[in-house]
């Protein structure tokens, strides 16, 4: 491919960044949802096909099987929860923290797959790695790990925002440095500055968020959507104040529910209802001196043991910080897909046997129908494909990071010129 053609593609991508930013500005939730549902599966299928023809950028022929097995295990547990099949499997995964353990194990193992060829060394190292990760992320360490940004990044952000934004940027930077492309470096400047401007320098009108019923319902997806991902990001980085348990929620969950009616005398329940009925929307103040929140309001998540949809609804959909976060998420995902498809002639993912390409198209159409029928169903049915493509890409991410280091050193010592051969 000649330099002029490469430059055209890079400048095209800068244009795509601006178009993506415009869509994310006006319709952040809908932009993400439509991109994820209808561009995402085609990206997964074509990228896995492309990775397969390149041995998943691993040194060993069968290294990818470890990552694939992890994908199968995680997908089966998620399937068990979503469809009520072998629910005990999902419960065991949660109890043993296996979702986090297997994900981090796959990521760290990919370093070996990308860099180490000796099979014996890899097997021994993987065994030690599994023991280390199992101990580090054991349920006994949940209190310590719960506040760790490193653990949060590895378990929550790697398969989401780090995958679609950071790893995409690293792959782009590696390509620009390897080809010594100035237009590629300008593309990187746009990749950083456009979302910064989108998030921090464009106005947010919470009363005119252009949010549709489809956007809200699909993003929540009966509790299986991305709604709680936003909450976890906002809370972990302390971007919002945790909602407090209200008097109304206290009465509903601890006084007037069926279990409480059996344990709390009628007179006491009547007293509590009468004393709080004029202050239902105010925070409930703990009166038990033995409680750590004595004379304080308690976070609703701590009180109920889970995120409460109604408490966070306005934060996710109608708050300034919630919309700012969603704009970035929408930009990161839509551009992630557009970047892949715009560089078809560079990556050449379409150069595959006709039968395989036909299978990709059929599977993509089928996946689109799932999302069109019910977004929640689409998320469940496509979980294996979406998560496995993240796992199978890990060795490529490692290769990109190492490649950036090598190319940067070569540029520092020999100048910004293409080294032939």
pLDDT of residue 419: 59
- pLDDT of residue 421 exceeding 60, the answer is no
Residue 118 in this model has a pLDDT that exceeds 50: yes
pLDDT in tens, 287-299: 888 988 999 999 9
pLDDT tens-digit readout, 340-376: 999 988 888 888 999 999 999 999 999 999 999 999 9
pLDDT of residue 2: 53
Is 0.75 surpassed by the pTM of this model? yes
Contacts 24+ apart (CB under 8 A), 155-158: 155/99, 155/100, 155/103, 155/104, 156/229, 156/232, 156/233, 156/236, 157/233, 158/103, 158/107, 158/390
Domain ranges in the chain are 3-235+314-414, 247-304
Half-sphere exposure of 399 (CA within 13 A, CB side): 19
Query: What confidence tier does 3 reach under pLDDT thresholds 50, 70, 90?
Result: low
| pLDDT score at 1 | 47
Q: What is the pLDDT of residues 385-395, one digit of tens each?
A: 999 999 999 99
Query: pLDDT averaged over the chain?
Result: 94
Burial of 417 (C-beta count, 10 Å sphere; 0-12/13-18/19+): exposed
Q: What is the pLDDT of residue 53?
A: 95
| Closest residue by Cα to residue 247 from 215, 219, 275, 207 | 275
- pLDDT tens, position by position, 154-197: 999 999 999 999 999 999 999 999 999 999 999 999 999 999 99
The predicted model gives 138-165 an average pLDDT of: 96
């Amino acid at each position: 491919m000649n330099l002029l053609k490469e430059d055209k593609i890079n400048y095209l991508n800068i244009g795509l960044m601006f178009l993506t930013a415009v869509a994310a500005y006006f319709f952040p939730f809908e932009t993400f949802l439509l991109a994820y549902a209808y561009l995402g599966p085609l990206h997964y299928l074509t990228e896995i096909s492309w990775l397969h023809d390149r041995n998943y950028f691993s040194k060993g022929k069968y290294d990818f099987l470890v990552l694939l097995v992890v994908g199968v295990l995680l997908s089966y547990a998620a399937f068990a929860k979503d469809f009520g099949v072998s629910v005990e499997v999902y419960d065991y995964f949660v109890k043993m923290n296996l979702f986090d353990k297997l994900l981090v194990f796959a990521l760290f193992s990919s370093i070996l797959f990308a860099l180490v060829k000796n099979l014996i060394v890899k097997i021994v190292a993987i065994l030690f790695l599994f023991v280390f990760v199992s101990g580090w992320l054991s349920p006994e360490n949940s209190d310590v790990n719960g506040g760790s940004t490193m653990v949060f990044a590895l378990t929550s952000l790697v398969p989401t925002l780090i995958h679609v934004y950071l790893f995409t940027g690293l792959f782009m930077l590696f390509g620009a440095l390897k080809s010594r492309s100035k237009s590629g470096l300008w593309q990187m400047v746009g990749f950083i500055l456009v979302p910064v401007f989108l998030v921090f320098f464009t106005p947010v009108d919470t009363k005119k968020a252009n949010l549709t019923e489809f956007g809200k319902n699909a993003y929540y997806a009966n509790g299986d959507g991305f709604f709680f991902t936003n909450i976890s990001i906002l809370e972990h980085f302390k971007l919002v104040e945790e909602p407090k348990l209200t008097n109304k929620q206290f009465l509903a969950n601890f006084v007037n529910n069926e279990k409480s009616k059996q344990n709390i005398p009628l007179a006491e329940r009547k007293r509590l209802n009468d004393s709080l009925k004029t202050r239902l929307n105010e925070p409930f103040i703990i009166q038990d001196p033995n409680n750590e929140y004595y004379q304080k309001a308690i976070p609703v998540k701590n009180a109920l043991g889970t995120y409460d949809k109604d408490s966070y609804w306005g934060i996710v959909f109608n708050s300034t910080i919630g919309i700012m976060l969603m704009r970035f998420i929408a930009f990161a995902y839509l551009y992630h897909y557009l970047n892949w498809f715009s560089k078809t002639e560079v990556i050449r993912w379409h150069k595959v046997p006709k039968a395989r390409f036909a299978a990709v198209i059929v599977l993509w159409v089928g996946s689109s129908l799932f999302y069109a029928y019910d977004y929640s169903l689409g998320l469940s049915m496509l979980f294996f494909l979406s998560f496995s493509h993240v796992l199978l890409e890990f060795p490529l991410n490692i290769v990109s990071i190492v490649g950036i280091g090598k190319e940067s050193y070569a540029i520092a010592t020999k100048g910004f010129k293409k080294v032939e051969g």
